[in-house]
Structure formats: C-alpha cells, structure tokens
Amino acid sequence: MAGLKKRVPTASVIGIGRVGLPFSLILADSGIKVFGIGRNYEKIEKINKGLMPFLEKGAPSLLKKHVGKFFFASTDYSNISKSDFIVLTLGTPVDENMNPVLDQIDNALESSKKYFKPGQTLILRSTISPQTTSYVASFINKLPGLKVEENFFLAFCPERIAEGKAIEETKQIPQIIGGVGKKSTYKASEFFKKIGVPVILSNDVSAELAKLFTNMYRYINFAIANEFMLLAKNYDRDIYEIINLVNYKYKRGGLSIPGLSGGPCLFKDGFFLIQDLPFADLVSTSWKINESMPIFLTKQIKEQTKLEGKKVVILGLAFKAESDDIRESLSFKVRKAFLRERANVFLHDPYVKEYNNIPIEKNLKKILKDADVIFIAANHNIYKKLSLAIIKKYVKKNCIVSDVWNVLGTGKIVYKINNIEDTRFKKINLSKI
C-alpha cells in the first residue's frame, strides 16, 4: 500500500562490552534499531552520553551518530520483547579448576525468558564450550509456547575479529553461521546479510569447535615460538635471526616471534576443549609454556642482578599491542614476580588508565629515570620508537633490559644495556613520545 513506511528490523544485544558494543554500533549503522542491554549503570550512563568506555577504532564517531536514534543502552531486558533478533555477547570464564563457567549465560537467559516470543532468533556470539548452544536450546524448549526450529530460532555465530578492529573487520571476515537446524541457520544468515557480512553455513557444534580451534591454533603457535626461544638460548643463539632464516622467502615458513601470550580468550579456550579428554597434551602443554614465560624471564634477570630494592619498570600492561584490554594479561604476572623479589615496580602504558588503584605512569621520560630494570611486556608502537641511545640517557649504567618482543631490535632477550650497541641509529626526542 502506497505511503506505508518500511518496518525497521530490531535487535537486542545482551552484553555491551568489547564484543557487544561495537557490534551494536555496526548494526545501528546498517539501519537496525538496537537495544544494548547491560548491568553496569555507570557504563551505560557513559555510553548514553556518547562516550566509549574502551578503545575501539572507528567506534566513537558511530556511537555519537547513533546513540538515542538507532542505538539505545539500558538495563531493561523488556526491550527483548520488541526485538526480532537477540544477540548474546557475554563472557564465558573458567573457574579455579579451569572448567567453563556459564553463570553469565544462565543469568541472561533467566532475565530474558519472559520476553522471548515466537518468531525471534537468538544468536550466541561469545566464545563457548562445545554443545553450549544445545544447552541453550534445551532451556528454551522448556519455556511455554516456544519450540526451537519450529517457532523460535537459535544459532552460534562466533565473533572472529581482532580486538579493537571490529568496525573495520566485521564486514570483511566471513561469518560462520552455526544453526541448530536448517531454519535457524537460514534465519541467522539473513540477519548477517542485512548488515553486508559474507556468511559460511554450518551447524552449531562445528561452529563452536571452529572458534575454539582458531584461538588454539594461534595459542599453540605462540607456544612453539616461546619453546624455540628457550632452545635457541640453550645454544646461545639469536632466536630472531633463526626465525628470519626459517621464514625468509620460504613458502613453508611462518614461524612466529616469541612473546607474552595472554588475553581472556587464548588463556582459557583450550580448556573448553580438553575438559573431558585426559590425553590432549598439546593444548595443556602450550598453556604451561606460555604461562611460564614471565617467571622464566624474571629468572634470567635475577641471574644478572639482585632485584631487592631495585627500580623495575614494566612497559605495557595490555595483553596485545595498541589495546587497553588488560584481561588475563601476563604483565601482571611479571609484576607479581618482581614484587616477590622485593623490587620497586613501576608501570607504564599509553592506553591503560587504571588497575586496582595502582598508579600507571604516562610519562616515559619520568618512569625511565634511574631504572635498574626495564621489562617490555607489550609491543605498543610507542615503544618501537625508542632507541637504546635514548634510553641510556635516563636509566642507570648497568640497567638490564628484557625485550622478548625484540621491540628495540637488538636480537637479544635479556641484556645489560651498556653491553649492546644500538644498530638502528634512531634519534627520537623522548619528550615528544
């Protein structure tokens, strides 16, 4: 009928953190009316003022553009009743025994169930342990008037973007669609097509495993790099030179460089896979190798100097470069190791604003002054602008550097700064960094 307005699709995104909020803004920018549902009143108030609570490239402008128009943040679960699609983007941690904890999903389902209605599609987007989607299906099937695959649709569609690049990558990377049946797969695929995302169709369990395998493949590669670093050190050889020898113009190369491998996904996801397998040693061994790196590197420093009373500067607190996310970051394991040696530990990160009321210095010149030890824990770009010549102007004569990322380009993991020549000849004014 002429003159009738086209109905605007609606969605509720439960969990407006580092996965949910950027995805909500992408949906809003695609013409979908989005209700972002969270529990933190302070964060929601900040978001509704158009302020991003964390770093995300491209998100601040989208938030200011759509907040109060196509995007609405609140604690009100009743908005689900107005929605065609419900997207769950909640955390799935592990307990002290490294078993999956589904409390956040359980609580969200309990809060949402009275607002579910026939015709809706529920999409799980967080990393989950295998068969969690089936677990959610059984929950929904017990609700009056709802039957999955008949009048209610359910799929696991994992987020696969690099943190901080959701706006850029969401429409570039094919979206895995893991429906619990053909109808659910179709409904979920149509949802992602609305926002211009290419899709690849599968089933729920295969999609769950694909997400976990992706993370574990990266994590195991990091463990291999760290193990090779230890082996190279055993022969007193430069691991970075060896990696270059392996990779240079060799089509079957691809070795990663060593480093601190942490974060909320890589740290725990392997345990989603092996909780019922007693022989999956590759995953558990990779975890042991990666988690042992802070203590190993601290021990290397201890062999060269007594740490008690020394000024130790940790550069970088986020678990990855150019991020402000400190969840499961190994930088804090490094900090604890130095504190156990009764060292005086100082923290620097250009992006992290606070950590448990512990001061985080922003001025590199100030924090490097009279340092006895520098531990480069994250490969932020700001640290790549440093040079040994510049650092030497501020630190103590026998300052020891731990640079597992090879940010300073020396090819050495742990060394006394005065024993190494600066081969990069960088002349940087530290006051401008």
Provide mean pLDDT across the span 312-318: 95
- What does the DSSP assignment read for 286-307? HHHHHHHHHHHHHHHHHTTS--
Per-residue pLDDT, 236: 87
Percent of the chain residues topping a pLDDT of 90:
62
Under CATH, which architecture does the 236-432 domain have? 3-Layer(aba) Sandwich (3.40)
Indicate the domain borders of the chain.
10-211, 236-432
- pLDDT confidence tier of residue 432, bands split at 50, 70 and 90: low
Per-residue pLDDT, 221: 86
Q: Is the pLDDT of residue 424 over 60?
A: no
- Under CATH, to which class is 10-211 assigned? alpha beta
Structure tokens at 100: 């999956």
Contacts of 213 (CB under 8 A, 6+ apart): none
Per-residue pLDDT, 425: 43
- Compare 273 and 157 and report the one with higher pLDDT: 157
Structure tokens at 89: 């983007």
Per-residue pLDDT, 25: 97
Q: Which of 52, 6, 91, 40 is nearest to 324 (CA)?
A: 52
Q: Is the pLDDT of residue 344 over 90?
A: yes
On whether the pTM is more than 0.85, the answer is no
Q: Is the pLDDT of residue 4 over 50?
A: no
Per-residue pLDDT, 98: 60
The CA distance from 283 to 219, in Å, is 9
Residue type, 378: A
- Compare 145 and 281 and report the one with higher pLDDT: 145
Which tens digits make up the pLDDT trace of 150-164? Answer: 999 999 999 988 888
* Summary mean pLDDT of the chain: 88
Per-residue pLDDT, 427: 45
Q: Which of 185, 194, 132, 124 is nearest to 159 (CA)?
A: 124
Query: 401 has which bridge partners?
Result: 374, 415
Structure tokens at 428: 């940087």
Which tens digits make up the pLDDT trace of 86-108? Answer: 999 987 666 555 666 778 899 99
Per-residue pLDDT, 103: 85
Measured at the CA of 431, the angle between CA 430 and CA 432, to 5 degrees, comes to: 90
- pLDDT confidence tier of residue 426, bands split at 50, 70 and 90: very low
Query: 345 has which bridge partners?
Result: 312
Provide mean pLDDT across the span 327-350: 93
Which tens digits make up the pLDDT trace of 233-258? Answer: 888 888 999 999 999 999 888 888 88
Per-residue pLDDT, 264: 54
Say yes or no: do domains 10-211 and 236-432 share a fold: yes
Per-residue pLDDT, 400: 95
C-beta pairs of 418-423 under 8 Å, 24+ apart in sequence: 418/392, 420/388, 421/388, 422/387, 422/388, 422/389
Which tens digits make up the pLDDT trace of 383-412? Answer: 999 888 889 999 999 999 999 999 998 888
Provide mean pLDDT across the span 314-324: 91
